[in-house]
Amino acid sequence: MADYIPKPEDKFSFGIWTVGWQGVDVFGSAVREPMPAERAVYQLASLGAYGVNFHDNDVFGFDASEAVREERIGAFRKALSDTGLVVTTATTNLFGHPMFKDGAFTANEREVRRFALAKVMRNLDLAASLGAATYIFWGGREGAESGAAKDIRAALDRYAEGLNVLCSYVREQGYPIRFAIEPKPNEPRGDILLPTVGHALAFISALEYPEMVGVNPEIGHEEMAGLNYAHGIAQALWHGKLFHIDLNGQHGPRYDQDLRFGAGNVRGAFWVLDVLEAGGYDGPVHFDYKPPRTEDDAGVWDSAAACMRNYLILREKVRAFRADPEVIAALAESRVASLAEPTLSPGETWRDVSAASVDADALGRRGMGYERLDQLALEHLYGIR
């Protein structure tokens, strides 16, 4: 067995806001002290992380003066420099301040929309200066609780306009930055625009610079809609759009739990690793979780370390599964590889299949052997093979 020690090539990253979450929720107040961004950096470095992701207001407050802003960024930069941690990714807080209560790019107030663009541009400058290659858009407040409040087609127009403007900005500045949209079905809004990976992928196809924009699917967000996250990222890979990933844990349709990676749908996590390995994903492996309110500072770091450890454990299992001769035989029994074979042979057209006939009853009787195959996977997950 491996020792499960994170290495730089694993590209593990954390949002500053994850370990920095103080535990405020709808029903209770903060249980932990505020965490300056630089403290998160030093601690994450000591755990073996490779990089960090940040919102502008994870580093400095919404109302920070220029002097405070500079001081805070300076401390952040120094920590990055001291530790060698990479800023893999950045994003904008367009949800915390009351002015964003109705959204940012899709707020009914035009002034809010304009300010949101300015806020993103300013943080894009910082992100670029820190070397971030990916910039995330999680539109948590872009949505509605009721039907008349929001003209959805107009909202999609404005959403697209916003991203188009920002793509132009990045292009004209020459920043080597790509955008990634992070879908979520609901919470904190009753229904959020672009609720799933699919909706975001479709939306991207209608943008002005679709090649600059991909998706950042989060396990918990897809599972809140009861969707299979591994299927979701597989479709994103199929479209060439898996620009980033957010790993965590969730127990199906309920509030956004943001459990540490591994501590949710364990079988789902196994197949996530399988898709990432098979799909050749080589971006940052980002954990977007929240240490539960029951934890003190020590618990914060225990849970952060566990995210990386669980990833390494599951990766080892997935590799062992795919290398297991019994699995290889079972995959063949289940004709899994046959699906990679085109339905039409080279040179065939519809004419060649239009009269296809089969022994339907024989095909109906033939078992697929999936239970046996899946049990092998489960036994790899259990660590008994």
Taking the least distance from each CB to a second copy, the nearer of 23 and 131 is 23
Q: Is 311 in the site for a second copy (CB under 8 A)?
A: no
The Cα–Cα gap between 340 and 160 comes to 35
Residue 180 interacts with a second copy (CB under 8 A)? no
| Separation of alpha carbons 97 and 102, rounded Å | 11
Q: Could you say which residues in the range 48-67 bind a second copy, by CB under 8 A?
A: 62-63
DSSP per residue, 18-43: HHT----BTTB---S----HHHHHHH
Examine residue 106 and tell whether it contacts a second copy (CB under 8 A): yes
| Binding flag, residue 108, a second copy (CB under 8 A) | yes
Tell me which of 11, 72, 141, 221 binds a second copy, using CB under 8 A. Answer: 141
What are the backbone angles phi and psi of residue 54, rounded to the nearest 5°?
-150, 145
Residue 95 binding a second copy, by CB under 8 A: yes
Per CB under 8 A, 151 contacts a second copy: yes
Assess 375 for contact with a second copy (CB under 8 A).
yes
Decide if residue 367 touches a second copy (CB under 8 A). Answer: yes
331 scored as a contact of a second copy (CB under 8 A): yes
CA angle 315, 241, 272 (to 5 degrees): 20
- Residue 131 sits at φ, ψ, to 5 deg, of 85, 10
Q: Are 141 and 191 in contact (CB under 8 A)?
A: no
| Interface pick for a second copy out of 64, 75, 228, 319 (rule CB under 8 A) | 228
Contact between 286 and a second copy per CB under 8 A: no
Catalytic positions, please? 55, 58
Distance CA 246, CA 270 (A): 15
- d(C-alpha 249, C-alpha 288), whole Å: 9
Let me know: does 310 contact 366? Beta carbons within 8 Å. Answer: no
C-beta closer to a second copy: residue 87 or 327: 327
- 369 binding a second copy? (CB under 8 A): yes
Distances (CA, A) of 289 to 56, 94, 129, 198, 247: 18, 19, 26, 22, 7
Q: Which of 34, 66, 98, 282 binds a second copy (CB under 8 A)?
A: 98
Of 145, 141, 147, which Cα lies nearest the Cα of 93? 141
Near a second copy by CB under 8 A, which window of 40-48, 84-92, 174-182, 368-376? 368-376
Among 37, 117, 127, 163, binds a second copy (CB under 8 A): 117
> By rule CB under 8 A, what count of residues binds a second copy?
176
**Which residues ranging from 242 to 261 are in contact with a second copy (CB under 8 A)?**
251-257, 259-260
